[in-house]
Homo-oligomer: A and B are copies of this chain.
Amino acid sequence: MVTTELRRDPITGRSVVIDLSPLHPNDFDDGVASGFSRSSEVTEVEAACAFCEGREGEAGPELLAWREGSHTNTPGWSVRVVANRRPMLRIEGGLDRRIDGVFETRDGLGAHEVVIETPVHDQPLQNLPVDRLWRVLWAWRTRLQDLKQDARFATAIVFKNHGRAAGARMDHAHSQIAAYPIVPAALDEKVRGAAAHLGHTGHCIFCDMTEQGLRDGRRTVSDTLPVIAITPFASRVPFETWLMPGEHAARFDEASDATLEAMSVVLKDVMARVDWALGRPAYNLVLHTAPFSGDADLAFHWHLEVIPRVTRWSGLEWGTGIPRNPVSPEEAARVLRGVKPVGPDL
């Protein structure tokens, strides 16, 4: 039984998820020799991968799968969504806040799902053929549509960790979907900024930014509609790249099949370029789509962040919140545009 709670920082108002269950060996990085964790009750690390085809029972009952004729919870799938076995948030719980003086806590209410992107153990997402990549995006969209029905959830965020340096604890390609009773800070500050820009100008800031950026062209990686790829003006890490619809669209859960198809093509192309430029780096993906309420639909514009993890967050970033990025987005886009990725699976 995993128990977590959402705590509010009394100074900044930011939230953290505190896990109250016993420490798991995967919780700390490889190589951390902890007197504390040694003394804790730990379980054995599993020898075999629970995400591989044929081990469906261990990964858990499926919430969704792409199947062509096979039976639920058996082999014969290409994408499979299950509940996270060590969920950070649980669907059991209430919305009440417990206040004790300056300290505020609530249940770790939410959903935490895993999208197993391929039945094959050693197959990175970006190596999938475009039609298989499409099914991963289809799974994201379908789950978002379902999670939106739960009135307790304010929003959901899709993310992916590829490689140890990006926080991945499993090698088998997977992404994760987390639904929250609040709009998490990283999305909330975008929503607020976008709403302010809409208020001042009547425009979507993402559309304005993209239009000005494409005109200039120096941060453009791919400008073929309907899905474009750019390196953002204020990129936080080297080769940060955003994929988004060229026309205004607030929600990924409303994206058409054709948009997902364009997205699959651009994502595969961008990842091949990033893999070349940075030597197959660890990376994160983050999908930001408008909160479920719909209030931000005019202001917000869905986008997928590709975040290569080739630099380490240091005390500088912790202490200031101002990242130092050693590669300008103009330079990154120039390099990415210059690559001509070729290969049997492109």
Contacts and interface: CB of A to CB of B under 8 A. Distances in A.
Interface string A279-323: 111001111100000000000000001010011111111111111
Interface string A164-189: 11111000000010101000111111
Across the A-B interface, give the 8 residue pairs with the lowest CB-CB distance, nearest first.
A167-B314, A159-B315, A185-B321, A33-B279, A186-B321, A284-B315, A184-B320, A286-B319
A328 interface: yes
A315 B166 contact: yes
A36 B189 contact: no
A11 B323 contact: no
Question: Within the oligomer, what is the number of copies of this chain?
Answer: 2
Interface string A304-346: 0101001111111111111111111100000100000000000
B286 A315 contact: yes
Contacts of A258: none
A312 to B, nearest CB: 4
Range class of the A interface residue count? 35 or more
A83 to B, nearest CB: 16
Interface of A: 4, 6-20, 23-24, 27-29, 32-36, 88, 101-103, 157-161, 164-168, 176, 178, 180, 184-190, 193-194, 197, 205-206, 208-209, 212, 232-236, 238-239, 276-281, 284-288, 305, 307, 310-329, 335
A285 B164 CA distance: 24
Contact of A311 (B16, B27, B286): B27
Contacts of A190: 11-12
A329 B102 contact: no
A208 B101 contact: yes
Given A8-B234, A18-B328, A167-B314, 9 more contacts: A10-B193, A34-B277, A102-B205, A159-B314, A159-B320, A161-B316, A184-B322, A189-B321, A307-B315
Contacts of A276: 35
A305 B35 CA distance: 22
A8 to B, nearest CB: 7
Contacts of A281: 32, 34
15 contacts: A8-B234, A9-B232, A14-B189, A14-B322, A18-B234, A18-B325, A18-B329, A19-B324, A101-B208, A186-B322, A284-B318, A286-B318, A287-B319, A305-B319, A307-B315
